[in-house]
Amino acid sequence: MSNMVDPLVSRIGARVRAERERRRWTLAQLADASGVSRAMVHRIERGESSPTAVVLGKLSGAFRISVSSLLAMAEGATDGGDGGNGEDGGDTRIVDTAEWRDPATGYRRRQISGPRFPAEIAEIRLPAGAQVPYPAAAFAFVQQIVWVLDGRLTFHEGDETHELAAGDTIELGAPTARAFANNTAEECRYAVVLVRSEAP
């Protein structure tokens, strides 16, 4: 009965629209570049539809930015307290971040680092039986490490498959189509650490 709009969904829509307009693309051009229908792009930009992880992967691939970057900017992590600007140049912040949930798989993502931190760090919770694929373009211009914290993660990288357990890490190489899968009966929790290697 509630018509309440999720503020994070609205911010994701605004972020997608800003990226599209920055490139001077029409809705149709973004639809062609991403493989996401024009109608769906329109609904996402208006905050009327929560995009799935797969759709976000396609959109970020079209923009040639990472999904992490797309969501991190939309999440708009805010600083707590008074900013802590000390005489010694130290600047300690408590980051208050939103959690994004994929409506299709139940995948949950929480940004750990704030917008001023040089690396993007996110915590992911992948439900039992879920799989989230991303196109190669979503990994362009970034260096990324995946660190499994709990459970098991099946990581598909091109034609290769990696089985990762708690404590395992994998450093991603050249951009290729990838998929994160949880083939177990328990939730998998992992961290993604990402730095941009060059500008798109």
Question: pLDDT tens, 156-189?
Answer: 998 999 999 999 999 998 889 999 999 999 999 9
The CATH code belonging to domain 7-75 is 1.10.260.40
- Say if residues 45 and 53 touch (Cβ distance below 8 Å): no
Domain boundaries, the chain: 7-75, 89-196
Read off the pLDDT of residues 136-148 as tens digits, 9 standing for 90 and up: 888 888 889 999 9
139 Cβ contact partners less than 8 Å away, ≥ 6 residues apart:
66, 172, 175, 176, 178
C-beta atoms surrounding 179 within 10 Å: 15
CATH 3.40.640.10 at 89-196, yes or no = no
User: Which token pair is 39?
Assistant: 């109608």
pLDDT tens for 36-87 read 999 999 999 999 998 998 899 899 889 988 787 777 666 554 344 444 444 4
Distance between CA atoms of residues 16 and 18, nearest Å? 5
pLDDT in tens, 23-50: 999 999 999 999 999 999 999 999 999 8
Contact 102, 53 (CB under 8 A): yes
Chain Cα centroid distance, residue 3: 26
How many other CB atoms are found less than 10 A from the CB of residue 167?
9
Helix (H) or strand (E) holding 127: none
